[in-house]
Amino acid sequence: MQNEDENPTPTGQLMLQTLTLPADTNASGDIYGGWLMTKMDLAGSVSAQSIARGRVTTVAVGSMVFLRPVPVGSSVGFYVEVEEVGRSSIRTLVEAWIMDPQGGEAQKITEGEFVYVAIDGNGRTRPIGK
């Protein structure tokens, strides 16, 4: 994970932006880490599907460190940067940021590496673009 002082702005392209809701919280009233991971995977898969020109599946997720709790009502942006495209795989860096609706500074929540593989209609690995 990059030090947030070294990179105070999101890396990559905004793929998904959503609001956090009360149904997505733990007993302390903060958003579940699993909710964030789900949205990050969704954002990464949108980018991977575009590159693969079809269906992809998630095959790996790298380590994640959560930098701060996410309160209910936050606007969260998910940014994707494609790091590597192989014969059938796509490796992405996905970052989650709390966006300030008043135009203030965004705050990084977490980042993770998500790896996708292009698959055919039978769920078997296929070359990208085929």
- Tell me the residue range of the domain where 94 lies: 13-118
Residue 129 lies in a domain: no
Q: What is the pLDDT of residue 25?
A: 93
Partners of 114 in the β-ladder: 61, 92
Residue 66 lies in a domain: yes
Residue 128 lies in a domain: no
Number of residues that this document lists for the chain: 130
Residue 112 lies in a domain: yes
CA gap 97, 78 in Å, rounded: 6
Residue 41 lies in a domain: yes
pLDDT at 2 over 60: no
Residue 73 lies in a domain: yes
Residue 97 lies in a domain: yes
pLDDT, tens digit, 9 for 90 and up, residues 74-119: 999 999 999 999 999 999 999 999 987 676 788 999 999 999 999 9
Residue 3 lies in a domain: no
Burial of 74 (0-12, 13-18, 19+ CB in 10 A): buried
Report the domain count for the chain: 1
Tokens of 41: 């995977």
Report the CATH number that the domain containing residue 39 is assigned in CATH: 3.10.129.10
